Homo-oligomer: A and B are copies of this chain.
Amino acid sequence: MMAGTLFTIGMGPGDPELMTVKAARLIAACPVVAFFAKRGRTGHARSIAGHLIAATAEELRFDYPFTTEVALDDPSYACGMTQFYTTCATAIATRLDAGHDVALLCEGDPFFYGSAMYLYDRLGDYRLETVPGVAGMAGCWSRAGLPFTHGNDVLTVLPGTLDAASLLARLGQCDAAVIMKLGRNLAKVRVALEQAGLADRAVYVERGTMADERIMPVRDMTEPTCPYFALILVPGRRRQR
């Protein structure tokens, strides 16, 4: 029997209509649909796919072993995640070996800070196809009405998990910037934006393209923390042509 193909599929920024035509086709066709989720939640990628998943499809739900109860720099975090990804990859391999195609759903674009990459790396002996998706940041800058990079602009994408000095150094030399992974890093990022002189043009976007999105100047976002998947956008040097 021929083994199945693993389709690693970007689901886009959140609005189900912003998935690609190819993503919609493959999700409906695959007999196995896999996705990550936080324990007790629906799973964001799963909720975007919604009704597209066939009623007869097997769903493989992978619950992250930790959310915030183990620190990122605790060795047990790395060890636990390694075991977790290996278990997930084994579950997928079993279905591929049985000849079934598997759709692995990912928020945004799979190769852009996605957990799915750790399964992709483990399943290199199988046929793999990756379906790119609209990045969360593109959904956010479209909804915020912020033309983002022009001409010779350099775009820098920074994780908010960087330390304050690194953030400031990077922000000091960017034309356009996106700051991801905010969550508990929000206050540190806000200070770095002020110090870099960029707070004036920085915009906070939470759940962009979704029904409950929030968009505001970063100075108006005074709450101490925010969802992990919120973004801050610093548009480039908007030029008049």
* Residues of chain A whose beta carbon lies under 8 Å from any beta carbon of chain B: 10, 12-13, 15-22, 24-25, 78, 81-82, 85, 109-114, 117-118, 120-121, 128, 130-135, 138-139, 141-143, 145-159, 161-162, 170, 209, 238, 240-241
Contacts and interface: CB of A to CB of B under 8 A. Distances in A.
A61 B208 CA distance: 32
A238 B117 CA distance: 9
Contact of A142 (B131, B134, B145, B154): B131
A182 to B, nearest CB: 14
21 contacts: A17-B21, A17-B22, A17-B25, A18-B22, A18-B131, A82-B240, A109-B134, A109-B138, A109-B142, A111-B138, A112-B138, A130-B142, A132-B134, A132-B138, A134-B134, A135-B135, A151-B159, A151-B161, A154-B170, A155-B155, A156-B156
A15 B25 CA distance: 14
A134 B138 CA distance: 8
Contacts of A120: 147
Contacts of A148: 111-112
A207 to B, nearest CB: 15
Given A17-B20, A131-B142, 13 more contacts: A16-B21, A17-B21, A78-B241, A109-B134, A109-B138, A110-B142, A113-B153, A121-B238, A132-B135, A133-B138, A155-B155, A156-B157, A157-B157
Contacts of A139: 132
A152 B162 contact: yes
Given A18-B20, A25-B17, A112-B148, A138 B141 contact: no
A154 B151 contact: no
Contacts of A238: 121
Most buried by B among A13, A16, A17: A17
A20 B157 CA distance: 23
B149 A157 contact: yes
A24 to B, nearest CB: 6
B118 A241 contact: yes
A-B complex: 5 closest residue pairs judged by Cβ atoms: A117-B147, A17-B22, A132-B138, A155-B157, A130-B142
Contacts of A113: 149-151, 153
Nearest to A20: B18
